[in-house]
Structures are given as C-alpha cells and as structure tokens.
Amino acid sequence: MNFPGSSEEAERRILERLENMRDNIVRLSSDLIRIPTVNPPGENYGEISSFLSKKMDEIGLKVEVFQASESKLKELGLKPPRPVVVGTLEAGKPEEALHFNGHYDVVPAGEGWTVEPFKPTVRNGRLYGRGASDMKGGIAAMLAAVEAVRKERVNLRGDLKLSFVPDEEIGGQTGTGCLAELGLMEGKAALIGEASGIDRVCVAHKGALWLEVAVKGEAAHTCMAHKAVNAVEKAAKIIVELGKLKEGFKAKATRTPMLSGHENPVINIGGVIRGGVKANVVPELCVFTVDRRLIPEENVEEAEAEIVGLIEEMGREDPQLQAEVKRILHVEAAFTPENEKICRVLVEAAGKVTGVKPQISGLPVFTDMHFFSQHMPSAIYGPGVLEKVHAADEYVPVEELVASAKVYALTILKMLA
C-alpha cells in the first residue's frame, strides 16, 4: 500500500471524500435514470453504454465492451445493441479480482406515478425515478466508490472489475450471462449492487424454473363434446395436481438466510393461460405456464423432473391426457456461506458506515448473483427500497446512495488493499 499514512487514515479520507461527493452521486444517479433503458424491449442501451464507458474512462479504468453472440440474441429474439460494459482497474492479478456488478436495464414505468418516471427529482431526501432503487443508484454508488479510492491513490493487490450489463430484467443471459459465456468470471469475489437496503447483506437468492405446459385435445363441435377430448378439462386436472405440490413445500424450508416469510419453495400456476377459440368449439389446445421458485437447497433439474414426472404419471393413468412440457427460463438459486470473506467484509463495512449491524438475509427473487456464485463467493448489497422495486414512485433515499458508496469503498480496501 503506498498511500500516505496508515490504512485507517486512507479509510477516513475516502469516507470523507465520499461524504463530500453527495451531490455528485445524486447527479450521477439522476443522469442514469434520465436515460430510459426500458426492458423489454431494451431501449437506449447504446446511449447508456457510451455514458458508462466515458465515466469509467474518466475515473481511469480500462474499458471494454462485449456483447452476446448473434446466435444467442437470435435464439432469444433480441435485437442488438446489448452492450456489456466492463471497466478494470488493473493490478495484473485477474485471479484475485473483485467484481462489482450492476444491471442498467429497468422495467417499464407502468401506471400510478405522481412524478415523471424518467425525470429524476429529489424530494424529502429521496431521489425518485424508474431505476432509482433497481438499480441505477447502485451503479452510481459503485462508480463513486471507485473514483474515491482512485483519487486517494490506493494501491490494489488484485484487479477491480466493474461490469454494467443489460437484460437482468429478462433473465440476464445476454448480460451477466454473456460474461460467463466469454469466460470472464475469473476472480475471488463478486458484489452485486441490487437494492438490499443498507441495513441488509444478502448472501442468497431463490432460483426459478418457468415451464410452459401444452395440453392437447381434439377440436369438435359442442354437439360432440361427450366424445371429444377437451384440452382445457385435461389441463384443469393437471393444474389441480400441480397445486398439491404446495403441501410438500410446507415441510421444505431453507436453512440458508432468507427474507422472513419466504423460506419455502413456491409455485405459481397459470400466470399465463390460454385455450379454446369459441364457445361452441371443444378446445383442442390449452397452454399454461408454471413458475416454480426454488430454495438454495433445490436445483432446476430436480424441480423440473418432479413436475414432468407428475404429468407423465397422469398420462399413464389417463391415455387421453397428452401434454408437452417446455422449459422457458431457468435460474439456479444462489448461496454464499456467511463466513466467506466477501460476506464478512460487507457486514463489517455496513456496520461501520450505518452504525448498525446489518441483517444477513436472502432474496426471494432472482438476480444476476447466480452467474457469479457458480464461479466465486458473491453477495448482494446496495441502496434502495425493496418494496419500491418495479413499483410506481420508485425512489432511493439519498442517504442510502452515499452510505452504499462508502460501504463499497471500504469493501474495496478490505478485499484488495
């Protein structure tokens, strides 16, 4: 370490610097919110990628831009550009890298706003706008932290890598998933800046399995209904059986930290359902979705096998029941043991900055953490209000923006200096 004075001295100066950067952090968050990177379909990605590249270049990071392969984009029906922007502070030790990750896409604004979703405004200490919590505030805090560390000229022992990615809101395959596919997941820890709130360190998130079940029948006039196979009726039988899985979930609570009330697997059947064309035609097809959420002790393969097995069993008992199951999305659950360094460092840093020992928890929704957790210990910590994520009047408390930036800076020092 070649900064002047002791490490405590450097810490103190960096925290002071970030306190003085309060307005800059709010401005940077606002600049990001003002670029409406709405997904779907994925708007203004080129603009935000240029903005983030320029910002990282100014801070002194080496900037590279990647994109998922054309075949991948085609397979998912997505249009370019979908830039994955990576900034590196090189120490010549990629194997020791600490990753900071954030997604720059936001969900559509939706209805019910009392402020303009893409014209950020500060009111009563809160910065309002779509993406304030999820998660442009987190991105701004990360950039501020790196800038502060950089300005204090702290020597780092390992690389610091910032990846700002698209498409987390649609599964992440062409965002953080692209980094994994390109083999850029080398390092010793990752921090995802999603809105945990500053008093919570998340070390786990649930997984998800989305299935589409297509149940076949025979089209016929209603007058033949007593003889034809009704696809909707067959689907209804399957839906009732799938619903019974919930009984088993009650006995299956996770032992990993998880937000209270979300300890068990859940299933949502028929989030989308369609069948039949007309009142007097026996439906020949009924298609419905299943969204099964997995606790960290479960995996996608087993959860799928359970559902497929159950439907196949029904088909053996009733030969007229014919259904095909197609996987439309899968995300493994993620979990990092609390005694991993990244978790300990975050808990300590958050405690130091906020004055309160943070709660260790897990998220009932999935994030890009799982892409990292297959390669290195990873955790989620960032500014924001969970209840306001994807909601109208989304906001982030300004205090949390500054506090997160401080926690990020301390994490860099503890992990790399």
- CA–CA gap between residue 346 and residue 344 (Å, rounded): 6
- CA–CA gap between residue 235 and residue 213 (Å, rounded): 9
In the bound complex, what is the minimum distance in angstroms from residue 176's beta carbon to Zn ion? 11
Give residues with Cβ within 8 angstroms of 43, minimum separation 6: 36, 37
| 141 lines the binding site for Zn ion (CB under 5 A) | no
In the bound complex, what is the minimum distance in angstroms from residue 5's beta carbon to Zn ion? 38
Region from 186-194, 254-262, 374-382, 409-417 binding Zn ion, contact rule CB under 5 A: 186-194
| 106 lines the binding site for Zn ion (CB under 5 A) | no
In the bound complex, what is the minimum distance in angstroms from residue 45's beta carbon to Zn ion? 16
For residue 335, the cross-strand partners are 204
In this structure, are residues 295 and 265 in contact, taking their beta carbons and an 8 Å threshold? yes
In the bound complex, what is the minimum distance in angstroms from residue 390's beta carbon to Zn ion? 9
Residue 41: asked if its preceding bond is cis (omega within 30°), the reply is yes
In the bound complex, what is the minimum distance in angstroms from residue 267's beta carbon to Zn ion? 23
Region from 50-58, 112-120, 126-134, 396-404 binding Zn ion, contact rule CB under 5 A: 126-134
In the bound complex, what is the minimum distance in angstroms from residue 365's beta carbon to Zn ion? 9
In this structure, are residues 245 and 191 in contact, taking their beta carbons and an 8 Å threshold? no
| 191 lines the binding site for Zn ion (CB under 5 A) | no
| 135 lines the binding site for Zn ion (CB under 5 A) | yes
According to DSSP, the β-strands at 121-123 and 126-128 are antiparallel
- CA–CA gap between residue 358 and residue 350 (Å, rounded): 7
Give me the helices (H) in 135-278, please: 137-151, 176-181, 231-243, 245-249
Among 134, 167, 368, 400, which residue sits at the site for Zn ion (rule: CB under 5 A)?
Answer: 134
| 159 lines the binding site for Zn ion (CB under 5 A) | no
| 398 lines the binding site for Zn ion (CB under 5 A) | no
| 170 lines the binding site for Zn ion (CB under 5 A) | no
In the bound complex, what is the minimum distance in angstroms from residue 127's beta carbon to Zn ion? 16
- CA–CA gap between residue 396 and residue 386 (Å, rounded): 10
| 401 lines the binding site for Zn ion (CB under 5 A) | no
Region from 115-123, 135-143, 156-164, 377-385 binding Zn ion, contact rule CB under 5 A: 135-143
Two structure tokens written together for 246? 């919930």
CA angle 344, 383, 174 (to 5 degrees): 90
Positions touching Zn ion (CB under 5 A) are 134-135, 194
